[in-house]
Structure formats: C-alpha cells, structure tokens
Structure 1
Amino acid sequence: MISSTFERMREAMQLSAEKPDPALLPTPRQLRRSTIAAVIGAAFIGVCVYMPAEYGIDPTGVGGVLGLTEMGEIKQQLAREAAEDELIHGGGEQSSRLVDDIFGLFAGAAHAQEAWVDTVTFSLAPGAATEIKLVMAAGDVAEYEWVATGGRINFDLHAHGDGQSIDYDRGRGATEGQGSIEAPFPGEHGWFWRNRDDANVTVTLQLRGAYSDVVRSE
C-alpha cells in the first residue's frame, strides 16, 4: 500500500515537471510583438550602425554622430585602392600587357620630348678645320652631344659677342663629348674643330635647346 502511494506521488511529480504552467507561457500576441521588436531592432542596427560603418552610407545621420560613417568611407576607399592595385599589378598576362603598353606610351612621350632638334654632320681631312656656332641670347641654354668616327679630333668650345668672349671647354685627340651651353651674353656660341689625325674624321653633332640658328664657317 505504501509502495503504491509513493509510486503515484512520483508519477504526479513527473507530470508536473513535464507540463509547464500555461500561465507562464507567452501568448501569441506577445510572440508577435517580440518578433516585430526584433525585426525593428535589427533594421535599426543595419541602417544606423552597419551601413555607415561598412559602406559609409548614412541615411539617418546617426552614423555621422557616432563617427561610424568616416570609418566606412575609409574602408571603401581602401577597397577601391586594393581593386586598382589588382588591376595594375595582377590579372595575369593581360594586365601585364596593359601595364607594358601604358609604360610604353609614357616612354615614347618622354623620348619625343627629349629628341634632338638639329643634327650636323661634317668630315675633315687631315689638317682641315671648321666652326659650328649657335646663335644664342643671354640666358639661353642648349644641350649637345657629338661623336667622331674614323679618327680623333681637337676642339675648342667658346663664344664671342656683345664685346665679350668666353672659353667653355677644350679637347685634344677626343672622340666624343656631351654637355650644355648656358649663354652669359648674346652672340655665337660653339666649336672650332681641327683634324690633327692622319685620316679623315667625320663628326656628328646633335643639338637641342634655346638657340635661333646654327652657323657653320670654314
């Protein structure tokens, strides 16, 4: 008898533990309210926090107040720069060809900008001489480069004009030269060449810069 009484009491306690009190359970209306509140909260976080912080988009202005919009704009800028770097440095053979083409265009433009304007070529027999002069104004700057083939040559780079004269450079038995002339006064600035070798010498002189004329005299 006592055993059966205890058995019934234990079963009653199990049933009480398995079946919650209906009064403690949320009603369907409460569940709907909780769901709507969760959706509104998630939307608020997405619009006011996530979008400004990740994309720099701030339709409400809250992100700007919290300093999140600036952070999102920085992230987007970094992402754009990474994409541009990938376009330039990545992408395999096609991107490499694109980069090569771009650098080729720049190199071609730089070469065109630096091209020589005038080229003067002359030959001197043994013992012969000639002069090549640039007509320049005060302050003009001209660049030059020359090479002698077939032998060596002597030169005297000087200027005269406006009652003044100046020696820039001299050479004996030279085969090449390069540099620039900055005219301190107006006049003719250039070279006196003489072939002291035993064979004919050909000189090719390239010029560019500020000068009005190239004059040759024997």
Structure 2
Amino acid sequence: MTLLTKLCLATFCSATILIVTILPAEYGIDATGLGKKLGLLALSKSSNTTSFKHELSFNIGNYDPKAERINESVQGLIHLEEVPFQSQVIDIEIEDLGEVEYKFIMPSDTSFVYSWEVLNSRGEGVYYDFHGHPSSADAKHYPDKFEMAYARGEGTSQNGSFTSPFSGYHGFYFMNIEEGPIIVRLVISGYWQDHQEMYRAIEGKVIKNVKF
C-alpha cells in the first residue's frame, strides 16, 4: 500500500466518523440518517437545552473614579488598611532564666504574618504565650483584667498569620527554658501602629514593665 493510498484511506475514515457520529451528536446534523438510528440526535438536543441558573453577585457599590477611597469591595478578597505595610526583623535577647514580652499596637481587624525562631537553641527553647489585651483607655469596655489568648506552648519556632480581634496590644511573651542566654528572632510583616518591648524580668525580678 502506497503512502498516498494510506493518506486517502485515513481521510475517508475521518470524514465518515465526522458525518456519521460527531455532526449528529454535537450539532444535530444527520445527513445519513444513522444518527437517529444510533440515538446520537438525542445527545445534541440534551446539550443544547442545558441552562445555568446560578448568577454571580458582588457587593460592589457604584464605581467613582475620583474617589480617594473605595469603601466597598468584593467581600473576602481585599481589606483596606489605614496604617502602612511594614516589615521588621527583631532579635530579642533573653537572659538565662529570663522573660520578655513584646507587643504590637494594632487597630481591630488588621493583620500580620510572622515567624519566630530561637537562633542558638541547645534544648527546649522557650515557653511562649501569644495573646492580646486592650489599652488602658479601652479597658473599661472589657471585663476586669481582660486578655485573649491565641497560642501557647513550648518550642523553638513558630510560623503563622494573625488578625486582631480588637484594638489594643497584641504580641508574644517568651520565657527562656534553656540553660544560658538565647536570642529569639522575630520576622514580621503586616500592619501595626507601633511596637516595643513591654516587659522583661530575670529570675523573677522585673527589669522593665511598660504601662499601657
């Protein structure tokens, strides 16, 4: 069989499949009548009558190109912030038998992503307590000595993301549970108004305690 003969045979087979099966099933064109006998015409009718009833809806207001701020957006996709985006790498030195509390002042419903690690760990690392509490000015709106815990435990590292449930001070308490001094490196990116070390103690003796 020559190459030309093979090409002609392949073309003939393809054309036959197109006319006998594909055109009746997809488009309802049945030139030979075999599509009806084989039940292929029913397939074209069912595909043509398919309808999609779901409609997408968005909580977007009228777009004003002159507006300085768009107050409505697709829920869950974007959250506009009043404070600028920031990134910090903070090395927290903790003495033997030392304790440190480091906080970020944040409006409600603002977020950061973070990672902390004991750089020179030789054992269990730290006891940590990630929590938040309101400022003294806002404390009257909350129960007495109110604070909210987010995570606590022991370890040498942690990674996560956080969204503040209320305005106030949110951050980390670290207690050195190793022998000898350590350094906790905190890498953080997101939105906050200010940050600082709030508390430090060595062997239970308070060295620093910032009132909030």
TM-score normalised over the length of structure 1: 0.45
Structure showing greater radius of gyration is: 1
Higher relative contact order, structure no. (Cα contacts within 8 Å, ≥ 6 residues apart): 2
The alignment's TM-score, normalised by the length of structure 2, stands at 0.46
Higher strand share: 2
Name the one with the larger helix percent. Answer: 1
